[in-house]
């Protein structure tokens, strides 16, 4: 078994907060809720990062990108060992930001898409559930190295314009767990009808991880989100501790090898 020691001993991960998320309810499982991780978080707001400035199908202009860079530098100066963000649409700036800041950054749950495609047979597809399918497109996939050929194995569905998630984020509606869960599960089921080749889901939106278990339960398929991405990201920045080896002496014995191990082809 491997594990992290007490969270007080762990270095902090920096989290970029957007300009429209201050009053959104964030239950455990949301990446901006400190209870979602065994390590500490440092928060920094990105100026001018309003909803439709961030959720955009167009490439961010340099002056807007600089707002993210400035916030990242502040987090680095505060002692963060790496940086995460709070919106999957920021995949479009992964490469652009990474070359401008002094510590690693993981911008989006979609970073897992190329890896998941490599792990699956070419006959299998990935289903992405997103906040806005009409906006998620080339600029976001190109930002994380997803080629047009890879895109042929990706199916995308967005939450309904008049649905619960849009209501919470865009209009400030009440956060009703059961309504959000039902909506995300329905999206997954609808996407499977559209593309039966889907064998794994990726949840784009920051607010979706609390419902990953429900999607898994109802579809039986693996589910990846920003939490799985952050856990992986941090585990390299701060490797876990392993249990002591109570059988160290057993490893000291010399073991016999025959010719098939000794001769290199």
**Cβ-contact 125, 199 below 8 angstroms:** yes
Measured distance CA(140)–CA(130) in Å, rounded: 12
Give percent above pLDDT 70 in the chain.
Answer: 98
**Cβ-contact 184, 150 below 8 angstroms:** no
Measured distance CA(46)–CA(105) in Å, rounded: 15
Residue 198's CB is within 10 A of a number of other CB atoms, namely 21
180-238, pLDDT tens digit by residue?
Answer: 999 999 999 999 999 999 999 999 999 999 999 999 999 999 999 999 999 999 999 99
Domain extents for the chain? Answer: 2-242
What's the pLDDT at 157?
A: 98
What's the pLDDT at 73?
A: 97
123-157 burial: b if 16+ Cβ within 10 Å, else e: eebbbbbbbbbebbeebbbbbbebeeeebebbbbb
Task: Domain 2-242: give its CATH code.
Answer: 3.40.50.12500
pTM value is 0.93
Nearest to 201 by CA among 154, 254, 240, 141: 154
173-195, pLDDT tens digit by residue?
Answer: 999 999 999 999 999 999 999 99
**Cβ-contact 218, 229 below 8 angstroms:** no
pLDDT category of residue 1 using cuts at 50, 70 and 90:
confident
Measured distance CA(219)–CA(223) in Å, rounded: 10
Residues recorded for the chain: 265
Q: Is the pLDDT of residue 20 over 90?
A: no
Q: Is the pLDDT of residue 128 over 90?
A: yes
CA atoms within 13 A on the CB side of 82: 18
């Amino acid at each position: 078994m491997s594990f992290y020691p007490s969270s007080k001993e762990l270095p902090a991960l920096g989290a970029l907060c957007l300009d429209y998320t201050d009053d959104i309810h964030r239950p455990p499982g949301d990446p901006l809720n400190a209870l979602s991780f065994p390590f500490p978080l440092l928060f920094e707001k990105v100026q001018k990062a309003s909803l439709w400035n961030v959720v955009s199908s167009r490439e961010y202009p340099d002056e807007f990108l600089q707002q993210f860079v400035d916030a990242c530098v502040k987090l680095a100066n505060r002692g963060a060992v790496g940086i995460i963000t709070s919106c999957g649409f920021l995949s479009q700036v992964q490469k652009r930001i990474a070359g401008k800041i002094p510590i690693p950054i993981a911008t989006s749950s979609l970073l897992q898409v190329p890896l998941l495609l490599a792990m699956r047979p070419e006959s299998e597809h990935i289903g992405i559930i997103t906040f806005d399918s009409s906006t998620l497109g080339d600029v976001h996939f190109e930002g994380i190295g997803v080629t047009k050929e890879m895109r042929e194995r990706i199916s995308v569905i967005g939450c309904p314009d008049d649905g619960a998630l849009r209501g919470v984020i865009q209009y400030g509606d009440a956060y009703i767990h059961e309504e959000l869960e039902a909506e995300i599960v329905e999206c997954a089921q609808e996407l499977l009808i559209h593309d039966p080749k889907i064998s794994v889901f990726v949840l784009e939106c920051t607010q979706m991880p609390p419902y990953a278990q429900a999607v898994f339960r109802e579809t039986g398929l693996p589910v990846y989100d920003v939490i799985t991405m952050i856990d992986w990201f941090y585990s390299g920045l701060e490797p876990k501790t392993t249990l002591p080896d109570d059988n160290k002496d057993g490893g000291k014995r010399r073991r016999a090898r025959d010719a098939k191990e000794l001769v290199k082809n």
